[in-house]
């Protein structure tokens, strides 16, 4: 844990690092081990076990007995589980909350670099690091995300690209990915927590849109680096992942895009065409089922 490493701990902002676990204790323990190498003193890890049935709760507590662990009886979903931890962190006086996927490994300077930039400007509400694919030092998974007008969609910057000068400059971005995003306390207080309607996927883009709407900036910090194993919980190519991608893209478009229904239709058609061209026919049925169920659940709630 990050206690007592320097005498300046009281002068540094308090960061809570929130990690949600679901039946993957090995990944979570590896994530926590990497975090212990942090050169930032004033942080506290907080694990939320989301109703695991594989002994994760006991394994994590045994490996890190001093770490705070919240055990949920059921799998509440990604956004609700994070919200439980965020509320706890804010009650404990957190200045920042880092939402961190458990299938990641962080560089020792990640917290230091993110906070240093966050403290430069009160209008910065959220910060995102440079994220590489796990095991690959040069291939990027994310350098933040931006909005593209047509087809209307969020695009991850640098996705699958080789490292280069284009990803080495600090800049403002439109969206953060839930893989890792450092959020200021004030941003939560102004715009609220993650929307619990998003069980999995798109909660990060929804929150990013609300943060920007609240008057805050989202900043990409390339000096803060980490590595992502990518979709360890659901599997990168699993039908379950594609079902959730379809279902929870619906409320995102209905809430944030204009015109909402046309934007959603254009995006869905683009995804279906893209995956067909790639030969990924097996994704189409679960994705369409997700869109159908998302439409049934959320379209009736859309303001007219």
CATH of the domain at 96: 3.90.550.60
Q: Please check whether residues 80 and 185 belong to one and the same domain.
A: yes
CB 140 within 8 A of CB 131: yes
Q: Mean pLDDT per segment of 10 residues, for the chain of length 304 residues?
A: 40 96 96 97 97 94 96 94 97 98 97 98 98 92 94 94 94 96 98 94 96 98 95 64 95 94 95 94 95 91 61
Choosing from 198, 228, 258, the residue where a domain stops is 228
Q: Tell me the CA end-to-end span of the chain in Å, nearest whole number.
A: 49
- Under DSSP, the state recorded for 162 is B
Helices (H), 192-281: 203-213, 239-256, 260-278
The secondary element (H helix, E strand) that includes residue 28 is helix 25-35
Is 1 part of a structural domain of the chain?
no
Is 4 part of a structural domain of the chain?
no
Q: How far apart are CA 186 and CA 111, in angstroms?
A: 18
Q: Please check whether residues 185 and 263 belong to one and the same domain.
A: no
Say what the pLDDT of residue 137 is: 81
Q: How far apart are CA 229 and CA 49, in angstroms?
A: 19
Is 233 part of a structural domain of the chain?
no
CB 219 within 8 A of CB 171: yes
Q: Please check whether residues 187 and 264 belong to one and the same domain.
A: no
Q: Please check whether residues 90 and 192 belong to one and the same domain.
A: yes
Q: Please check whether residues 176 and 296 belong to one and the same domain.
A: no
* Enclosing domain of residue 194: 9-228
Q: Please check whether residues 248 and 218 belong to one and the same domain.
A: no
Choosing from 163, 198, 228, the residue where a domain stops is 228
| Phi and psi at residue 72, to the nearest 5° | -90, 140
Reading the block at residue 90, the tokens are 């804010």
- Mapped onto helix, strand or coil, the DSSP state of residue 281 is helix
Say what the pLDDT of residue 3 is: 30
CB 51 within 8 A of CB 73: yes
Q: Please check whether residues 278 and 196 belong to one and the same domain.
A: no
String of DSSP letters for 79-119: HHHHHHHHHHHHHTT-SEEEEEETTEEE-TTHHHHHHHHHT
**Overall pTM surpassing 0.85 (yes/no):** yes
Q: Please check whether residues 165 and 26 belong to one and the same domain.
A: yes
- Under DSSP, the state recorded for 187 is H
- Mapped onto helix, strand or coil, the DSSP state of residue 126 is strand
What radius of gyration do the chain's Cα atoms show?
A: 19
Is 82 part of a structural domain of the chain?
yes
Return the closest-CA partner of residue 224 out of 126, 79, 92, 84.
126
Q: Please check whether residues 71 and 188 belong to one and the same domain.
A: yes
Q: Please check whether residues 217 and 264 belong to one and the same domain.
A: no
Is 148 part of a structural domain of the chain?
yes
Is 279 part of a structural domain of the chain?
yes
Q: Please check whether residues 202 and 134 belong to one and the same domain.
A: yes
Number of domains in the chain: 2
Choosing from 167, 197, 228, the residue where a domain stops is 228
Is 262 part of a structural domain of the chain?
yes
Say what the pLDDT of residue 230 is: 79
- CA distance readout (Å), 233 to 148, 237, 262: 28, 11, 32
Neighbouring C-beta atoms of residue 296, cutoff 10 Å: 11
Return the closest-CA partner of residue 199 out of 81, 38, 57.
81
Q: Please check whether residues 277 and 175 belong to one and the same domain.
A: no
Angle in degrees, CA 187, 191, 195, rounded to 5: 115
Is 3 part of a structural domain of the chain?
no
Name the β-bridge partners of 221.
129
């Amino acid at each position: 844990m990050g206690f007592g490493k320097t005498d300046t701990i009281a002068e540094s902002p308090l960061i809570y690092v929130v990690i949600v676990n679901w039946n993957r204790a090995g990944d979570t323990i590896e994530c926590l081990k990497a975090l212990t190498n942090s050169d930032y003193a004033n942080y506290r890890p907080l694990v939320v076990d989301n109703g695991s049935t594989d002994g994760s709760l006991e394994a994590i507590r045994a490996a890190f007995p001093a770490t705070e662990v919240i055990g949920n009886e059921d799998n509440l979903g990604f956004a609700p589980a994070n919200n439980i931890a965020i509320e706890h962190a804010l009650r404990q006086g957190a200045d920042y909350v880092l939402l961190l996927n458990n299938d990641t490994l962080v560089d020792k300077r990640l917290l230091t670099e993110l906070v240093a930039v966050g403290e430069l400007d009160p209008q910065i509400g959220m910060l995102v690091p440079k994220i590489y694919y796990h095991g690959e030092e040069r291939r990027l998974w994310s350098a933040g995300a931006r909005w593209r007008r047509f087809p209307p969609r969020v695009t991850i910057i640098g996705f699958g690209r080789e490292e280069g000068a284009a990803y080495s400059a600090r800049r403002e971005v439109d969206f953060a990915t839930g893989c890792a995003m450092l959020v200021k306390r004030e941003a939560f207080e102004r715009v609220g927590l993650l929307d619990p309607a998003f069980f999995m996927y798109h909660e990060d883009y929804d929150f990013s849109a609300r943060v920007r709407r609240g008057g805050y900036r989202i900043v990409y910090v390339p000096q803060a680096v980490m590595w992502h194993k990518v979709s360890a919980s659901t599997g990168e190519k699993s039908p379950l992942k594609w079902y959730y991608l379809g279902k929870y893209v619906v409320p995102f478009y209905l809430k944030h895009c204009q015109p909402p229904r046309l934007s959603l239709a254009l995006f869905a058609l683009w995804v279906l065409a893209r995956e067909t061209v790639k030969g990924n026919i097996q994704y189409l049925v679960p994705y369409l089922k997700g869109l159908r169920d998302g439409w049934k659940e959320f379209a009736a709630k859309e303001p007219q």
